Amino acid sequence: MSEARTGHPFYLYDAIHQQPNLVRRMISERTDLIAQAARAATKKDRLWIVGIGSSLYTAEIAEYFFRHLTAGRAEIGVGQSFEFVFYPPALSERDAVIILSHTGITKCTIDALEFARRAGALTICISGENEGEAMRSANFLIPTCEQEISFAYTKSLTSALARLALFSVAFADARGEKNPSAKQSLDRIPDLMQQALGLEARMKDLAGKIAERRRIVLIGAGPNWPAAREIALKIKETSFAPAEGEQTEQLRHGPFSEIDERATLIALLAGGPADERTRMIIRAAGETGAHRIVFHVPSARPDDSALESANDWFTIPAAEEWLSPFVFLVPLQLLTYFLALARGTSPDHGRLDQPPHARAREIYKY
């Protein structure tokens, strides 16, 4: 058991900084195993990716990898593991199921694996090291990194995402849908993540600006919609503050009503087809008095009126849109970390150091 930390640097800070090297390992090690699993999956009619919590958002981001690399031709489903078990799809030996788990011991994740096995599906587990025994019953077990110490998972998410990115490249290749530059693009991601860590000082300053805001809303589209939801979850886990991740256009359909001078709106511009609509939302939020923050890749025209009108904007290293969540997540995780410090909360504990939450945990854990 690692000794609890009571001040900076917390374990979460260490994990954020470890990610570039871990992602580099995840896309260079166990490549034969991943290719073998991917080839087996292509022999099935349908592929499911299943997880819960941060693993669900990992699955949702990864679905865009497959969509991009197969031009949407592969049948890929995403399942939340609890729903997958209690409100199940019809599975058979014609399905392949990827089960995602940080720890390998979450009950509903184990139940999802057992359900898939009973149905005769091909099972592939992507799990943290020292995984539980149940994970080893899968047809393929692909390990990621050591178990996280912080309650807020970061490096285990990006490690699993890297394994899935490599898997998706091998899957597309095995289907005969060659993407010659895809692996090269993936190989550049660790360096881009390392560059993104250079925004740390600015994220610390930004956290001080928005620490007292009543509400934080993040918007993104495509693979950055689940990335926005993941960061909202991290803010809840570390600052215990209201935060939501919304799809850019969905914000207009009701949720925009809560955008006003008390809110911070964080927008992600990835250089993709949704950017123009995102710019409109940024400008519209300005009319309400919201504090507007924009993270954008260089191709998102930093001189345009939407960015010029934002209260703060930050350029992240350029990655292709399908891989851009890796890079967006880094400064947003740093912002999350420093936001917790600015609000006087521990980013490692998830309130489990507080007796009421510790007692609550005993009721719902199993």
Q: What is the pLDDT of residue 25?
A: 98
Across the chain, mean pLDDT equals: 94
Residue 136 lies in a domain: yes
Looking at the 3D structure of the chain, how many domains does it have? 2
Same domain? 237 vs 276: yes
> What is the C-alpha separation between 21 and 29, in angstroms, rounded?
12
Structure token pair of residue 230: 């993941």
Same domain? 238 vs 329: yes
Band (pLDDT 50/70/90 cuts) for residue 133 is confident
Same domain? 167 vs 202: no
How much is the average pLDDT of 149-177?
A: 97
Structure token pair of residue 194: 């390392």
128, 155, 179 - which closes a domain? 179
Mean pLDDT lowest among 87-96, 130-139, 239-248, 345-354: 130-139
Cβ pair 162, 23 in contact under 8 A: yes
Band (pLDDT 50/70/90 cuts) for residue 362 is confident
Same domain? 175 vs 234: no
Give residues with Cβ within 8 angstroms of 38, minimum separation 6. 167, 168, 170, 171, 173, 174
Same domain? 15 vs 162: yes
Phi, psi of 271 (to 5 degrees): 80, 25
For 314-335, how does the pLDDT look when each residue is reduced to its tens digit (9 = 90+)?
999 999 999 999 999 999 999 9
Same domain? 110 vs 233: no
Cβ pair 266, 295 in contact under 8 A: yes
> What is the C-alpha separation between 91 and 115, in angstroms, rounded?
9
Same domain? 157 vs 232: no
Q: What is the pLDDT of residue 130?
A: 77
Residue 360 lies in a domain: no
CA 362 → CA 101, 348, 359, distances in Å?
A: 21, 19, 5
- Which H or E run contains 50? strand 46-51
For 59-100, how does the pLDDT look when each residue is reduced to its tens digit (9 = 90+)?
999 999 999 999 999 999 999 999 999 999 999 999 999 999
Same domain? 40 vs 162: yes
Residue 102 lies in a domain: yes
> What is the C-alpha separation between 345 and 336, in angstroms, rounded?
11
Residue 62 lies in a domain: yes
Same domain? 88 vs 201: no
Same domain? 237 vs 318: yes
Q: What is the pLDDT of residue 350?
A: 87
Supply the DSSP symbol for 244.
E
Residue 356 lies in a domain: no
Cβ pair 50, 81 in contact under 8 A: yes
For 253-312, how does the pLDDT look when each residue is reduced to its tens digit (9 = 90+)?
999 999 999 999 999 999 999 999 999 999 999 999 999 999 999 876 645 666 678 999
How much is the average pLDDT of 103-129?
A: 92
Band (pLDDT 50/70/90 cuts) for residue 116 is very high
Q: Interhelix angle for 11-26 vs 155-174, to 10°?
A: 20
Same domain? 170 vs 224: no
Percent share of the chain, pLDDT over 90? 84
Q: With a cut of 70, say whether residue 352 has pLDDT above it.
A: yes
Is residue 296 classed as helix, strand or coil in its secondary structure?
strand
The whole domain housing 301 covers 195-343
Same domain? 154 vs 199: no
Residue 350 lies in a domain: no
Please, what is the Cα angle at 192 between 340 and 243, to 5 degrees? 30
**Report field, pTM of the whole predicted structure over 0.85:** yes
Residue 20 lies in a domain: yes
List, as one string, the DSSP characters of 1-43: -PPPP-SSSPHHHHHHHHHHHHHHHHTTSSHHHHHHHHHHHHT
Is residue 310 classed as helix, strand or coil in its secondary structure?
coil
Residues pairing with 294 in the sheet: 267, 313
Q: What is the CATH number of the domain that holds 208?
A: 3.40.50.10490
Residue 73 lies in a domain: yes
135, 155, 179 - which closes a domain? 179
